[in-house]
Chain A
Amino acid sequence: MKKRGISVALSFILLVALVFTGCGGAQQQEPTNTPSVSPSTSASPSEEPALSGEIVVSTLAGDPFQSSWRTLFDKFEENTGVKVILDAVPWENLREKQALELASGTGSYDVVYVHPFWFGEFTDNGYLMPITDYCDQATIDKFIPGLLDLYNRDGKVYGLPDWIATQILGYRTDLFEEAGLEAPKTWDDILNAAEKLANGDQMYGITFAGRKGGALAGIFCTTLLSNGSWLMDENGNPTMDTKEAIETTEFLAKLSKYAPPGYQNFHWDENAAVANSNKAAMIMLMTTNAAWLDDPGRSQTVGLWDFVAINNKTGGGMVDSYCWSVTKSTKNKDAAAELVKFMADTESQIFLTEKCGTSGATKAYYENQELIKTHPELGAMNQAFANSKPNPAWNTWASEQEVLETNLQMVFDGKMSASEAMAQVQAKMLENKK
């Protein structure tokens, strides 16, 4: 009887220990810059792991991301005992590979890395598990609501965001100081600074990626947000022929006069190369590229940049991102859920910022002063999140984007008026809506 009592007491203590270990995920950890992160919900290595088995994670292929994720997966394996198999495929094939595996319903993927382009398709087909099935309210509250909302479908959130990026404005602090200019707060400030600081071939007022294929549309969308408008209204009706959209086009056309030659064929890398070579006073860039400007290996302008959200009537930012999602067909839900929480957690995201230049989605991430000191673009991102919209992901956007970008280039070249350009985009969107 006595022995039985001891056994019961020991079992109770073990159970309590397990419960506390399991709840660790809800506790916020102090973010650090060190890559040696540990999963927020893991047991300490000395204890018996609460989770077991193996999980298969589907992500895109390519470094530095793939190797950084592998490092985090190894840490997760070490702390939980769960084996993580990474199935990385090129971005172009990621959607179809994931869709094929998930449609079969065999549970071959436990965690998928989902882009907004196919997020709607996956939720509509019931491939993803709502986060409320594995995250408590405390975990959910750790995330910036607007970013979590990017993965909201019909009132349910299906993934924890990661790889947050938006378009911001970078400006040369030394040149602005010399010219007695302050950080641009409106479009007029940007135009005024571009005009004042431009100096022929020696220094361009601004540089931005004007190439078709998404970069130019991204800049337009963020600039449009800063003018207090968006591509559609709340009812899903296109709003491209509005005063705000036409003003945005006209503003970008004026700004393009201060851009370097060839900017219409610049993607983000060529755009940054101009700024890095001390040839641009301002730059519109993706936040994921901001680290390039401070990389001594590629930049002549290290330490000379500061960043603000693109502002006019308001700050704005069209947010690009991915999310970590647990699949509905997973056979190891607990381990998959822990991995998703671990990957989106502040500490893992800080590690990924250092390694890959991507940003996280938790509040603690953007409040981390140490991190903001080394990554000044985060402050600008935080401003942009006040008025953010997700990267358009509806099925017909690609054809609308093509018309938008082509027309913008024509307006920049003076071959089309802003109102005509936007009227055509509006017509295309209406046609597609039908």
Chain B
Amino acid sequence: MKIRRINISSEEKRLGYAFILPGVFFLGFFIFIPIIYSIYMSLFEWKLFDLGKIKTFVGLDNFIRIFSDKVFVTAILNTLTIVVFCLVIELILGFIISLSLWNIKRSMKVAQSLILLPMITSPVIVGLIWRFIYDPQFGIVNYVLRNTIGVGNIAWLGNADTALISVIIVDVWQMTSFVILILYAGMTSIPNEYLEASLVDGTTYFQTVRYMVIPSISHYIILVLMMRTMDLFKIFDTVYVLTRGGPGYATETLSMYTYKTSFQFYEMGYAMALSLVSLVCILMISISYMKLMKRKD
């Protein structure tokens, strides 16, 4: 089919450009210029408290330093562990719960609101709540464990062996609701005719889920994976409140380390190099997901 082009007068074109100009200006001003400036500043060695002084040009030294920085390696490994575990658990749990809600078929407004509560709570508040929940002496987790299986005082956040898994649990608790929200929306968009047809064909419940539900919501799954991966890669506030990256470097994440490098150690050039590495990682992940989505199309 031949697509007919709409004739737009040059005056209308100008008007169109005028409309998008403020958006392009703000996008450029707040996104592209800071990124370009960050790239430029990452080539210098400078401290935040040396604002008025001449900055030393070090070329790619800040980027080379990243490869020999043991804390960076630990931080990136911790971040990847959080990303992988959280994604898997949140996706499985989110899928099961949204499927259950979808099966009930009734208006579940109260349940949906309750499920969304953790997600709409500020991560700092979530961190504080979980610090109390995890408290070795007074926390409810240890209280329940002590009174059921007789396990003593576990230092959830104060022990290098359990701190990372504790952070993962908090994120799963908070953000599974986001997965539920998106997947449930996907499931409700499946036409009833498909379901009826599958029933007529005599498929089992699991066959329906495997061959109809999952393919129908695959775009939603990829979308949720992309958004969660990007979010998890930047995880900061929860970790900051829960452990500040400790004990040792047990819960040090890339964002946490970048923040410390810039605003605690004031090494701005190196911090910008770290930020750019994060940016590149997130971009690569996003592009991969988008390609996957296109392939699905």
Contact = CB atoms under 8 A, between A and B. Distances in A.
A262 B244 contact: no
B267 A262 contact: no
A213 B265 contact: no
A413 B137 contact: no
Contacts of B135: 262, 270
A261 B154 contact: yes
Given A121-B49, A399-B267, A274 B137 contact: yes
A413 B265 contact: no
A413 B158 contact: no
Contacts, number: 83
B164 to A, nearest CB: 13
Interface in A251-265: 260-265
A262 B248 contact: no
Contacts of A405: 246
Given A277-B138, A395-B49, A399-B264, A264 B247 contact: yes
B160 interface: yes
A431 to B, nearest CB: 12
A395 B155 contact: no
A401 B13 CA distance: 60
Size category of the A interface is 20 to 34
A399 B265 CA distance: 5
A264 B153 contact: no
Nearest to A261: B155
Interface in A405-434: 405-406, 409-410, 413, 415
Contact of A265 (B152, B157, B260): B157
A238 to B, nearest CB: 17
Q: By DSSP majority rule, is chain B's interface helix, strand, loop, or mixed?
A: loop
A212 B159 contact: no
Contacts of A121: 49
B136 A260 contact: yes
Contacts of A266: 158
Contact of A413 (B131, B160, B245, B260): B160
A211 B158 CA distance: 8
Interface of B: 47, 49, 131, 135-138, 152-160, 163, 242-249, 260, 264-267
29 contacts: A121-B49, A210-B247, A211-B244, A213-B244, A260-B136, A260-B153, A261-B136, A261-B159, A262-B137, A262-B155, A262-B157, A264-B155, A264-B159, A265-B131, A265-B163, A265-B246, A266-B158, A277-B137, A398-B260, A398-B265, A398-B266, A399-B264, A402-B264, A406-B249, A409-B246, A409-B248, A410-B248, A413-B160, A415-B248
Interface of A: 121, 201, 210-213, 260-266, 270, 273-274, 277, 279, 395-396, 398-399, 402, 405-406, 409-410, 413, 415
**Sorted from nearest, which 8 A-B pairs have the closest CB atoms?**
A262-B158, A262-B155, A262-B136, A265-B158, A399-B265, A261-B155, A264-B247, A398-B264
Given A212-B247, A264-B247, A409-B247, 18 more contacts: A121-B49, A210-B247, A211-B246, A260-B137, A261-B136, A262-B155, A262-B156, A263-B155, A265-B157, A265-B163, A277-B137, A279-B137, A398-B260, A398-B266, A402-B264, A402-B265, A409-B246, A413-B160
